[in-house]
Structure 1
């Protein structure tokens, strides 16, 4: 089922008898469940109308029994079921589930009950009869990461919902600083809107002042400064990370990871992969691929490979005690940002 279609149906009060939700974006899934409860369950009846169950703690036939029991003092009840094994690939220990009972129910569901299975997995197990039955009933909803463009639009919409506006450059700075996790972005947007006030505009300076960069985002900036030959800024970022008690070995590992992503993205896009396809292939968020592609655009694959080799060698030297960790990092940054790598670029 298409998510937009499902939302339209729910807002019209036309909910299906059961849903199977899955995907890596738990924040979006929770938003959808909250919308369903707000639209379908009167606020004064929610204690009687909403039940929570977990298939890791009870067999699925108990969920079916509850679904078949008429609601008490309410027109319709909603059962929220946390699941790992009925539709996903997880296991529930010693609990045995009679999935045949669920399949029977899915074939003839009660019109006074809505079951929402919230699968704790990024993918469903396509081999299972339960998954096939849910797909046949058009009851499956995927909550996957936004594309880079969708994430930007989501940020803008979240800001507008709080009666503020945001500059285009500020959106980019916000995502680069806070990352792509929707929960973290939502919290930072709330903070920025409170800071500027209603009907005011959030600019890049406000974001840079109020939104702290996490370690990965700082390393992303560090790599950008290194390959951009901005030695002073790169060393400043490094020393800031060290002040925050970040281990030099961890910093190098993140530099290696970022250089590897840049090289992989460059190779895939060179093979006519779209950024969305590259993200799926590499298991990354599409916005991370977009940033890596922009970062790698002006550098040949041979240069990225040489830098990656040098970073990997530094990692080995630090772990084997051949070089003092902080000094090794500083020399690495100075060599690469000055354009004189240890290994010749072919």
Structure 2
């Protein structure tokens, strides 16, 4: 019967960020409905783990945690699962992947969803179940009834890339979780070497903390010794050295990439990509776009935008455009056999450094 064992509505949507929502969950304030969306999958996984750990004891998870993928299962089965009383546990957790019913994405596959059944449940969710929807993508479709309803009945949480300074502070906090200390310079060195993916950074912090031991300090030297740079990060560093007129270091990085069997054409392409980003950041910055707005416009992480902006200050828009033109010409010459690939990049770096 409708209404039996249901939770009374809170009477409005309170917008929370993920950290506040996690704090409330740890205090026992749990919503019957959560909708997580955004591009930071690592943060979403952390939120799912926190909610699971808070709601369900490890030995009860086989009975109390249900995983459903809406690309394979109709949404009415999610509702049926949530409405079914839990067995031997106080509350069950239903984790729903691929929740495109809340986004503008077209429904894929052959699964048909009874949206009205979902809307009926969102209007009156069961108090003995928690449904966690995970939607892929960085935006919700605010026109949809499903989005409006879940905002009224539950919590909608955005998981987007952290800002540049926020990412540095997050790395420092990750070290603290492992009983290690880490300064800002070491954190920035780690990001420069490992990139901005939070899952990679977390794994590298764990490795560094094992090296230093509990109570130890992670130094810039330790990061340089233990964290290898990706090809993309090496090129990023090479462009940084060029911008700072450190030509010997830029050439040294180039020769190191050659030792690693990297293709010169790929290296030139990555250099061109970075100069293109620098030009775009410079142009958007001149139009008073914020760092976050530029990141969203270009599909980049805010930290990458911050560094590209700092690099772009060393060049005028005309210099950046001219460099991109030279790289396009170099690409053609290398691919057509008009110049030796290694020699071509060496000459480009020397000319740019001059």
Please indicate the TM-score interval, normalised by the length of the shorter structure: over 0.9
Does 2:230 align with 1:214? yes
1:72 pairs with one of 69, 87, 103: 87
Question: How far off its partner does 1:304 sit?
Answer: 1.7
Partner residue, 1:176? 192
Question: How far off its partner does 1:96 sit?
Answer: 0.7
Does 2:58 align with 1:43? yes
Give the conservation status (yes or no) of the 8 Å contact 1:77–1:114.
yes
1:112-138 deviation per Cα after TM superposition (whole angstroms, max 9, x unaligned): 000101112222233322122223335
Find the residue that maps to 2:314 and give its secondary structure.
coil
Partner residue, 1:286? 302
Q: How do 1:147-158 residues align onto structure 2 when only pairs under 5 Å count? A: 147-158=163-174
Question: How far off its partner does 1:162 sit?
Answer: 0.8
**Residues 84/114 of structure 1: CA separation in 2 closer, same or farther (3 Å cut):** closer
Find the residue that maps to 1:79 and give its secondary structure.
strand
Question: How far off its partner does 1:281 sit?
Answer: 2.0
Partner residue, 1:328? 344
Structure 1 unaligned segments of length 5 or more: list them: 340-346
Q: Which moved more, 1:114-123 or 1:82-91?
A: 82-91
Partner residue, 2:215? 199
Q: Which moved more, 1:232-241 or 1:203-212?
A: 232-241
1:303-342 deviation per Cα after TM superposition (whole angstroms, max 9, x unaligned): 22221221122122222332222221111112111x2xxx
Query: What is the RMSD of the two structures over their aligned residues, measured on CA atoms?
Result: 1.5
Partner residue, 2:250? 234
2:100 pairs with one of 60, 72, 85: 85
Partner residue, 2:318? 302
- Runs of 4+ with >4 A deviation: none
**Residues 292/111 of structure 1: CA separation in 2 closer, same or farther (3 Å cut):** same
1:134 pairs with one of 143, 150, 153: 150
1:256 pairs with one of 252, 256, 272: 272
Q: Which moved more, 1:24-33 or 1:229-238?
A: 229-238
Partner residue, 2:239? 223
Q: Which moved more, 1:175-184 or 1:223-232?
A: 223-232
Give the conservation status (yes or no) of the 8 Å contact 2:33–2:153.
no
1:211-266 deviation per Cα after TM superposition (whole angstroms, max 9, x unaligned): 00011110011112223332322222112112222222211111111001111112
Question: How far off its partner does 1:192 sit?
Answer: 0.7
Give the conservation status (yes or no) of the 8 Å contact 1:224–1:295.
yes
Give the conservation status (yes or no) of the 8 Å contact 1:159–1:189.
yes
Find the residue that maps to 1:289 and give its secondary structure.
helix
TM-score by length of 2: 0.92
Find the residue that maps to 1:119 and give its secondary structure.
strand
Give the conservation status (yes or no) of the 8 Å contact 2:36–2:133.
yes
TM-score by length of 1: 0.94
Give the conservation status (yes or no) of the 8 Å contact 1:18–1:139.
yes
Count of matched residue pairs:
338
Partner residue, 1:186? 202
Structure 2 unaligned segments of length 5 or more: list them: 1-14
**In the aligned structure 1, how far is the partner of 2:278 from the partner of 2:66?**
47
1:83-140 deviation per Cα after TM superposition (whole angstroms, max 9, x unaligned): 1422231433111111111011000111000010111222223332212222333521
Find the residue that maps to 1:199 and give its secondary structure.
coil
Partner residue, 1:342? none
Question: How far off its partner does 1:36 sit?
Answer: 0.7
Give the conservation status (yes or no) of the 8 Å contact 1:84–1:121.
no
